[in-house]
Structure 1
């Protein structure tokens, strides 16, 4: 999801979704800070019924993320591994992870309002209200078997440098699945000519190995998504 011009809004064919379209444009505007993003999401979760405005036919990022995390794992593995859901929000990804059989999931999000919604549904074992950057989180090295990021990238969202912290907290052999709007690679300055080169550099440095990169439809309405899946070395 990214900035939307008035022209884009005007040509949108589904006016029943115009409000959520504008909400996303607001939280993704250039120059927004991480703190402003967190405050916005707290308000959206509380006042604007975030989940009701993002049903499956509008937004499929959590579905795609959870399926990629589960792919190739046995039922026994999914029941025993530890998952770290970054940019957890209200727990939409956790719902889908649990539907695939994952049982031990921790969630991180800087929005207290979002995490409160997830807590009310008992979707995580641990609720961490924090930003993920290059600053060390209160998490030991090699803690998780799977790390997911469902739509956590965007203007004022997760910075490129957070990849180092993601790799640090995942065990060797563990998986990292990152899903975002494909257009972000061009429209968000933080990621343009920086995110994928850093991903490639981490692979050259032996930090992780790419398992999958794909573009998929329906990330948000008619906007394409992009998925990366890596195995930590």
Structure 2
């Protein structure tokens, strides 16, 4: 019987990278059987925010590539991926949908690049990506750049994540183009808010 990881992932208080390395082989099957719809929601939101479909998009925390696949199916022609976990990257590579893939973090992936759009699909959650990563991405984006990301119910309960969003939008440093709460993993009764922010 294949080990299930979803119960662990939402109670994580330690090494997320080690957990994802173990989970890589069964990740797609487990999240799919729980109705994971956030990749499609994020990709649609970014397209509807009038992002340039021909410009490269960075899929941050790309995992096995479910987000990249959704972006490609939504019409984005060039998708690059980055993730901290080599085992996840290998599964993403097998999809043959990415222009480039690298093991690394947001800063290393965005350094020297001029991404107009960045996606962090299913990435933000307590014990995984910190709320300050919202600042890191927006600071690295050019003026007019778009950042699509999701905050699941666990992240929303922390208030730190939405606090970073409000700090950017309330100050006028970014504009909210899209904000919608909806399904994340319906089989687990978990929702998520999808945001698209545009840097001023």
Call closer, same or farther: CA 1:104–1:73 in 2, change over 3 Å.
same
Q: Aligned-pair distance for 1:153?
A: 1.4
- Residue in structure 1 matched with residue 61 of structure 2 by the alignment: 87
User: For residues 39-77 of structure 1, what are the alpha-carbon distances to aligned partners after superposition, in whole Å with 9 as ceiling and x for unaligned?
Assistant: 21121113xx21122227611111111111111538xx3
Query: Helix, strand or coil: the match of 1:171?
Result: coil
Q: Report the RMSD for the aligned CA atoms in angstroms.
A: 2.3
- Residue in structure 1 matched with residue 169 of structure 2 by the alignment: 203
| Mapped partners of 1:195, 1:114: distance in 2 | 25
Query: Helix, strand or coil: the match of 1:123?
Result: coil
- Residue in structure 2 matched with residue 170 of structure 1 by the alignment: 141
Find out whether 1:107 has 2:89 as its counterpart: no
Runs of 4+ in 1 over 4 A off after TM superposition: none
| Structure of higher CA gyration radius | 1
**Which TM-score applies when normalising by structure 1?**
0.76
| Mapped partners of 1:40, 1:177: distance in 2 | 25
Query: Helix, strand or coil: the match of 2:110?
Result: coil
Which sections of structure 2, spanning at least 5 residues, go unmatched? none
Find out whether 1:63 has 2:29 as its counterpart: no
| Mapped partners of 1:158, 1:51: distance in 2 | 20
**Which TM-score applies when normalising by structure 2?**
0.88
Call closer, same or farther: CA 1:218–1:199 in 2, change over 3 Å.
closer
| Mapped partners of 1:219, 1:180: distance in 2 | 12
- Count of aligned residue pairs for this structure pair: 198
User: For residues 191-212 of structure 1, what are the alpha-carbon distances to aligned partners after superposition, in whole Å with 9 as ceiling and x for unaligned?
Assistant: x232222211122343311122
